[in-house]
Amino acid sequence: MSTTMGRGGTSLLPPSDLRRRLLDRDALAARQVRSDRLLASEGAGHLVHDLPVRADGRAAALESRPWRIDPIPLVLDAGTFQWLSLCVAERMEAIEAVVADLYGERRLVAERVVPPEVLASTGRYRVDAVGTRPRRWITTYAVDVVLDADGMWWHVGDLVDAPPGLGYALLDRSVMSRVLPDLTARADVVSLARFPTRLLQALAATSTEDSPRTVVFSAGIDHPSYVDHSYLAVQMGVNLVEGADLVVRQRRVWLRTLDGLEPVDVLYRRVEDPRLDPLAIAAEGTVGVPGLLLAQRAGGVALANAHGAGIVEDPAVRPFVRAAIDRLAPLTQILPELDTPDRALTTVPLAPGSVAAGLDQAASVVRLFAVHDGEQVHVMPGGTGRVLAPGDDPADPTACTAKDVWVLGWTSAPVVVPPRLPQVDFGRSVPTRAADALYWTNRAAERAEAMARTMRVISSRFEQDPALAALSSGAWCARMGTITAGVMRRRDADELATAAELTARLSEVGDGVASEIGALLTEATTVREFLSVTTGRVLSHLAELRSSLQEHVTVVDDLDAVLADFAALAGLWQESTVRGPAWRIGDTGRRLERCLVVLDLLQGVLDADAERPDVMASVLEVVLAANDSLVAYRRRHRSDVDADLAVRLLVHDGSNPRSLAASIDRLAQHVADGEGALGADFVDRARACLALPIDRLVVDMRTLIDEAGTGMIGRWFSTPVDPIPMTFDGSGVSS
């Protein structure tokens, strides 16, 4: 008996066995749980949580967008996909011809194939794009198709402006390849791993540069498809930028980086056409780049897709697209237009509960993707499926459940590895916004960890010995109030006197930890390309723990989990992030915040009443434990806590990584490595402060650290106003 072999010598499953294993009801629940967890670990999970105001004051107006991957893939055989890919490739080139004509010769308008009054009535037709000649109008393309109950495929819609979903499709496959690793290999599922390189080549082909600087242009975390944008940037290894990162000078687009302005050659825009340029007619919002379209028309930057390409998506123009295609580039492989949303569609199996309770079958829209590299169209051998809820219009799915699309055994075309682009080192090409986010990510992480540890230490002691609340007529509660107010950075907090007041304060600390975690998640989400995949998993878990903190159901074990996550985050920052400018700025933020944490905790020691040794001893132990230094103290001294020795460990002992001196030493190293924003005399002033009496040290060092933080923001993250005076010659032309 012969066995069919797949790529790599793996024995293939017969179709009947594949179907049986994919639909194994006993395994589906576990697969759903695993796919949910993996989706979260890829950095998408914490985006479904409401996030607070960012460090710069902007609100992250992100709605809760739950998103799942059904663990039963949508499977296409090689023959079906080959035909669909021919349809997609032909249609993409035909639409390119239509768009080029509408902005060029306008034969379609002259012959009224596309009535001129239709173009005049829509805001999607860009008059300022008429006569422009980009190297390609359409570099990336997506199309939605459905299969009806009779086995016929129908065309639902074209996505041409800024086609979303490619990043989602790659992410879906990344998750499913780990949920079903044996099946993806033994079913001979075609890999998507080379497609990001193919996309990068296609984007490069829009520029005249040999190795163009390409960026993914996003509208930011508020955009519904931000995960899509972020994941694509990571897979291609390019910067994810927002409008504030870019500026137009001399009819070119430049990226604001830590080293100054760097030229950008290609913008892979994920920003919809009406929002590209606030100076353009009918521009919407403020996420665009003033002057961007001027730079494009001057050839200073290539947009993929070109400005105006989305005209074929307009509802008023869409009915004329098929006739326009027939006039300019008749198709040999035709997908009929879906004539009614009520057409009976074929259904596919669902995992129990992936969409709704009791729903185990549903129709699905399949989105296919293609890119044009300047020579030919390449269709991705797969895609993403959107499950339709009962009553959904295929053009507008409402169910937030996706399906990975598998293509089996498509080997009719040889695997061709595209030529490599010339290598350019972009190691120092760090957008200032990204550095800003990394800086505040680390500051929020350090503060949240300190607050969580303080809350954990005090809660644990209070649970173990409730009599502490009455110690010295409430003096212990008062000192704990001072310490908690310090780590919460609340100088005006009320003094505590009772156990009930302390319990209420600890609840406020929990709210503060949740707020800092939210700030951390908001900032980290915008710089995914600088963080490892494992970091995404830690952030996802922190998002879950944040929910319990917000609901005030946190117990000591939950706080232990929070602290473990922060320890993992710190370790990943130290060991899994390249030590470049971005890391140095982020780490500077962490060390500045750690200095402030030590100073805030020391304030609790200074305010303690030395005439009450029982209170003083407990305060010292809490302060040491809150700074993760109590174990080090006990191993070194093996005695009751002495105030002078405790202060020495917290302030002067450079071998203690949590000490003030250790943080100053790290900051000194950053200054030596070129971090001048801290100030030329920062290190000397900081070390002079360390020699002061403790009461003066706390005040003077806090002032110095605050000045250093202000200097960092002013040096790296503030956008200076730099007006350019305009002069006019006698002809009235500005220069």
Distances (CA, A) of 665 to 80, 658, 669, 672: 64, 12, 6, 11
Torsion, Cα 447 451 452 456, to 10 degrees, reads 150
| Structural domain spans, the chain | 72-408, 432-717
Per-residue pLDDT tens over the stretch 414-431:
444 555 555 554 556 788
Closest CA to 149 of 363, 451, 306, 300: 363
Please enumerate in sequence order all residues whose Cβ is within 8 A of that of 59, keeping only pairs 6 or more positions apart, or say none.
Answer: 52, 53
User: How does DSSP assign 558-627, residue by residue?
Assistant: HHHHHHHHHHHHHHHHHHSS--SHHHHHHHHHHHHHHHHHHHHHHHHHHTS-TT-HHHHHHHHHHHHHHT
Distances (CA, A) of 634 to 180, 353, 605: 50, 53, 18
The separation between the first and the last C-alpha atoms of the chain, rounded to the nearest angstrom, is 81
Per-residue pLDDT tens over the stretch 660-695:
999 999 999 999 887 777 877 999 999 999 999 998
User: Under DSSP, is residue 453 helix (H, G, I), strand (E, B) or coil?
Assistant: helix
pLDDT of residue 593: 96
Contact between 228 and 167 (Cβ < 8 Å):
yes
Closest CA to 523 of 629, 465, 446, 428: 446
Phi, psi of 404 (to 5 degrees): -70, 140
Task: Measure the CA–CA gap between 259 and 429, rounded to whole angstroms.
Answer: 8
Per-residue pLDDT tens over the stretch 548-558:
888 776 667 77
Q: How confident is the model at residue 263 (pLDDT cuts 50, 70, 90)?
A: very high
Say if residue 511's pLDDT is above 50: yes
Torsion, Cα 588 589 594 600, to 10 degrees, reads 130
Give me the residue label for tokens 């003077």: 700
Distances (CA, A) of 360 to 23, 72, 143, 349: 11, 11, 26, 6
Q: What is the model's pTM?
A: 0.84
User: How does DSSP assign 226-273, residue by residue?
Assistant: HHHHHHHHHHHT-EEE-GGGEEEETTEEEEEETTEEEEE-EEEE-S-G
Per-residue pLDDT tens over the stretch 159-186:
999 999 999 999 999 999 999 988 888 8
DSSP state for residue 715 in the 8-state scheme: I
pLDDT of residue 420: 57
pLDDT of residue 522: 85
Closest CA to 412 of 52, 82, 49: 82
Contact between 273 and 124 (Cβ < 8 Å):
yes
**Token pair listed for 27:** 């395994």
Q: How confident is the model at residue 188 (pLDDT cuts 50, 70, 90)?
A: confident
User: Residue-wise over 229-257: b if at least 16 C-beta within 10 A, else e?
Assistant: bbbbbbbbebbbbbbbbbbbeeebbbbbb
Per-residue pLDDT tens over the stretch 556-578:
777 888 899 999 999 999 888 87
Contact between 128 and 281 (Cβ < 8 Å):
yes
Q: Which of 280 and 295 is assigned the larger pLDDT? A: 295
The count of residues in the chain is 735
Per-residue pLDDT tens over the stretch 138-160:
999 999 999 999 999 999 999 99
Q: Which of 414 and 492 is assigned the larger pLDDT? A: 492
Closest CA to 71 of 345, 347, 352: 352
Task: Measure the CA–CA gap between 496 and 580, rounded to whole angstroms.
Answer: 46
Give me the residue label for tokens 């606030």: 278
Mean pLDDT of 498-527: 88
